[in-house]
Amino acid sequence: MKIPVSWLREYVDVNATTVEIAERLAISTFELEKISYRGVPDEDGNLGLFRVGLVLEAAKHPNADRLQLCTVDVGEPEPRQIVCGAWNFGTGATVAVALPGAIMPGGQKLERAKLRGVVSDGMILSERELEIGDDHTGIIVLSRPFDPGTPLGDALPLGDEVIEVETGFNRPDLLAIYGIAREVAAVFSAELKPPPGREPDRPLDPEPVDVRIDDPAGCPRYIGRLFRDVRIGPSPEWLKARLTAAGQRPISNVVDVTNYVMLALGSPLHAFDHVKLVQGRIVVRRAEPGETVRTLDGEERRLEPSDLVIADAERAIALAGIMGGEETEVTGTTSDVLLEAANFEPVGIMRSSERLGLRTDGSNRWEKGVDPYTAEQAAIYATELFVDLAKARYTGETDAQGDLPVRPVTRLRPERTDAVVGLEIPLTDQRRILERLGFEVEERAGIVTVPTWRARDVTREVDVIEEVVRVYGLEKVPFTLPMRREMFGRLSVEQRLGRICEETLAGLGFSEAYTFSLVADGPDELRLANPMVSNQAVLRTTLLDGLVEAAQRNVHAQNAGIALFEIARVYLPSGGPLPDERRRLGGIVEGGFARAKGALETLYETLRVELRVERGGEPFLHPGKAARTDAGWFGELHPARLDGSWGVFELDLETLFAGVEPVPLYRDVIAYPPVRQDLAVVVAEDVPAGALVETARDAAGDELREVAIFDVYRGEQVGDGRKSVALSLVFQSPERTLADADAAEIRGRIVAALTERFGAEVRGG
């Protein structure tokens, strides 16, 4: 939000510089972005070079059809000759003039110049050149009489300091200049003036204003005021300058008044052309199925029954709280205006705004919860300005309302404030601060009545304490930590095992990575409704994409020995409204399949879980170098994904940790000697080596203590489509020494099982 300081000072009489105001409020109230200056620089006498001028003569330039050659009295002994490109004035006009040497807004220095062969000794100024408004089609013609040579600053607002702040939280009162002034008054113990707006004389014979609220939950209050004989035209320069400094574009006096009052008091307004309302009626209701409305931006909006609309007797004419409709907008021919000063329920406005992708200054305020009691003051202020600036006749009013919220009541114990803050704040200071912020304090009972504009966010005693301390001075609170008397909690099993994974991979030379949870492509049911950017539109289903992208950036940076891992969540389609969130461990490492397999072998060994592997077929892995475990997959990344030889893996942590023994159990050392044998069998090429190991274990029983594959041979000796797999077997019994006959019997069971299941042939006898 942009806060013109001259506007702020109209509402609060404070003896502090702009920098002091901004710095104090940055601690107590909002996030300060910057302080800027708009308009003509006020330094080194520069303002003295901007003057009121009287046009003594105005005629066509002798050498240019589109230029005027003017003689202008600027209060000097001799008039100045000035060339001007505008034609909206003539002899006798009072104009704004900049003399040679003047520094213009933006820093450009004005010089005497020759235009089409004629010297121009100054410049007659437009609104845009003074940063008062956007109009550059003509120059400023002053309506009030000023003597030639009068400092232009006496006639026009030439410059202003602007405090730019971020008020993204739910404090709608801070989206009003008067709300900021209230904060200044509280922080600096300054005088806050009454809210702007003076009710003009009410009509003696008021016209009826037909307003009906069909949905009081969505619209608890609707004030409609009718104006006749409205003169639509440009706003005065002071109003344009204020709006421009606050970031608004001046349009016309009626529209500008609605925007000005919104900025001043925080309650959005809207003006309808009353003649265009069917039967002159306003109905606040929900949209009908299939109903549409063309908004002021020219877009045809298809509505849903949940959308709150403003309608006349026949059709929807505006999106309540978001944007008016094109069919009833105020134009240059409008003479009768219906002013809307209403209040709308915030959640419905937010949902409609998000669904339609339509965010406005009004919707931004409504969705934060505007005070319904502010609507009346906003209507009064807008009425005053309509009468003054558009010469309107105020002819009728209605105030339709449902049950307006009552002011919340809570308590405040001064000693509780001191205990929470860690600082003794005098009772008189606590009360003074709260009263300046609009709270009512019953000191004896400790009862605090919250003002309506803070009813949504101040509901508890601790909220009231926060109000006291932030204004009293957060910088005064001592930097101390609370005393720790007890400590509870410890790592969960999942946290402890997760740390073991992190430490193991770090010990293997991996670095931890953090990648985005959103990717470009994926299942439609995981796609965001309104993604911020196109390449982050879908919830990820794997960690691989982010790790590959991170590795690619390291390659481009010419880093060597790249090894990255990440522990994070992925999101899988569940068929329900929310995805299935799974926590996974992923990794990528230079060196191909062997490096990935080695990392997983070490990880499984550290967790005391047996790594059981079978052939994999993931499309993103290199054919023939892909494997699966019970918890996920690993292998060599397909070269189409990333140049070079890269090992990758991804494991589901819940599945992985399910195999970890909660408490490792001691196993007695067997004192009897082992019997070691090797066994080579020939099987079909497609038989997984891991399946041979599992079958051997099942057939041999507990006396097979160890089994491992130590060689795989392919060649002429075993034939095409077949391979020889060599297994190392260790037999051992905890009860006795095994004889050769015992080992032969166990070996025979293994051979029989392999033959029956895989058609294995024993190689070498």
State how far the Cα of 127 lies from the Cα of 146, in Å rounded to an integer: 18
Question: How confident is the model over 107-111, as a mean pLDDT?
Answer: 92
Task: Mark 494-530 as b/e (b = at least 16 C-beta within 10 Å).
Answer: eeebbeebeebbeebebeebebeebbeebeeebeeee
pLDDT of residue 486 exceeding 90, the answer is: no
Q: Which two tokens stand for residue 464?
A: 């009231």
The confidence score (pLDDT) of residue 765 equals 53
| Residue 117 identity (one-letter amino acid) | G
Question: Given 602, 627, 658, which residue is the final one in a domain?
Answer: 658
**Pairing relationship of beta strands 210-213 and 281-286 according to DSSP bridges:** parallel
| CATH code for position 430 | 3.30.56.10
55, 21: one domain: no
Strands (E), 106-149: 113-115, 118-120, 123-124
- Tens of pLDDT, residue by residue over 204-258, are 789 999 999 999 999 999 999 999 999 999 999 999 999 999 999 999 999 999 9
Q: What is the DSSP string of 483-499?
A: P---------HHHHHHH
Q: In this structure, is residue 266 part of a structural domain?
A: yes
Q: In this structure, is residue 85 part of a structural domain?
A: yes
Q: In this structure, is residue 391 part of a structural domain?
A: yes
State how far the Cα of 229 lies from the Cα of 24, in Å rounded to an integer: 47
pLDDT of residue 483 exceeding 80, the answer is: no
291, 279: one domain: yes
pLDDT of residue 482 exceeding 70, the answer is: no
pLDDT of residue 614 exceeding 90, the answer is: no
Q: Which two tokens stand for residue 475?
A: 């910088």
226, 346: one domain: yes
497, 430: one domain: no
95, 175: one domain: no
684, 752: one domain: yes
- State what percent of residues in the chain have pLDDT above 70: 100
The confidence score (pLDDT) of residue 89 equals 92
| CATH code for position 651 | 3.30.930.10
Question: How confident is the model over 661-684, as a mean pLDDT?
Answer: 85
13, 96: one domain: no
Q: In this structure, is residue 483 part of a structural domain?
A: no
646, 709: one domain: no
The confidence score (pLDDT) of residue 575 equals 86
- Tens of pLDDT, residue by residue over 561-570, are 999 999 999 9
Q: What's the chain's average pLDDT?
A: 92
508, 603: one domain: yes
| CATH code for position 326 | 3.50.40.10
pLDDT of residue 53 exceeding 70, the answer is: yes
- Tens of pLDDT, residue by residue over 492-546, are 889 999 999 999 999 999 999 999 999 988 888 888 888 888 888 999 999 999 9
Q: In this structure, is residue 204 part of a structural domain?
A: no
153, 166: one domain: no
Count the Cβ atoms, other than its own, within 10 Å of residue 117: 9
Q: In this structure, is residue 226 part of a structural domain?
A: yes
Task: Mark 314-332 as b/e (b = at least 16 C-beta within 10 Å).
Answer: eebbbbbbbbbbbbbbbee
Question: Given 382, 401, 420, which residue is the final one in a domain?
Answer: 401
- Tens of pLDDT, residue by residue over 704-745, are 888 888 888 888 888 888 999 898 999 998 888 988 888 899
Q: Which two tokens stand for residue 675?
A: 């019997």
Q: In this structure, is residue 726 part of a structural domain?
A: yes
- Tens of pLDDT, residue by residue over 144-154, are 889 999 999 99
Strands (E), 31-75: 31-39, 50-61, 64-73
| CATH code for position 81 | 2.40.50.140
Question: How confident is the model over 179-196, as a mean pLDDT?
Answer: 95
pLDDT of residue 332 exceeding 80, the answer is: yes
| CATH code for position 699 | 3.30.70.380
Q: In this structure, is residue 670 part of a structural domain?
A: no
Domains identified in the chain, total number: 6
Q: What is the DSSP string of 352-388?
A: HHHHHT---HHHHHHTT---TTHHHHHHHHHHHHHHH
pLDDT of residue 378 exceeding 90, the answer is: yes
357, 233: one domain: yes
Q: Which two tokens stand for residue 440?
A: 């009512």
Q: How many CA atoms lie within 13 A of 49 on its CB side?
A: 21
> 652 phi and psi, to 5 degrees?
-80, 120
Domain containing residue 563:
493-658
In the structure, what pLDDT confidence band is assigned to residue 576 with cuts at 50, 70 and 90? confident
**Contact between residue 684 and residue 722 where contact means Cβ atoms under 8 Å apart:** yes
Question: How confident is the model over 349-377, as a mean pLDDT?
Answer: 93
438, 498: one domain: no
